Amino acid sequence: MTLRVRVQPRAAREGVAGVRAGALVVRLAAPPLEGRANEALLRYLAGALGIARSSVRLQQGARGRDKLLLVAGADLGTVRARVAALLQDPL
């Protein structure tokens, strides 16, 4: 399955900040230099979704804030439930 994400690098606190224009907004402490924010995003979402880091890949958007991720190793219902739980947790 694919997941649309909008990244906010260099945030004071990491976490999910909501949904904007159909994309999950994720705040990351990592800077957008040399792929650090991309790697931090993949690690964060893999941990939050309870799947292996290798199951989350960047499909589009390596150099921009808007990204399309490919998530494998989890069924749609599980991913939706975990994303809903992330949206319930305040930053």
Q: How do residues 10-63 score in pLDDT, each as one tens digit?
A: 999 999 999 999 999 999 999 999 999 999 999 999 999 999 999 999 999 999
How far is Cα 77 from Cα 43, in angstroms, rounded to an integer?
A: 21
**Is the domain covering 2-88 a CATH 3.40.50.1240 domain?**
no
Task: Quickly list H helices, 3-52.
Answer: 36-49
Domain positions in the chain are: 2-88
- Looking at residue 35, its pLDDT comes to 92
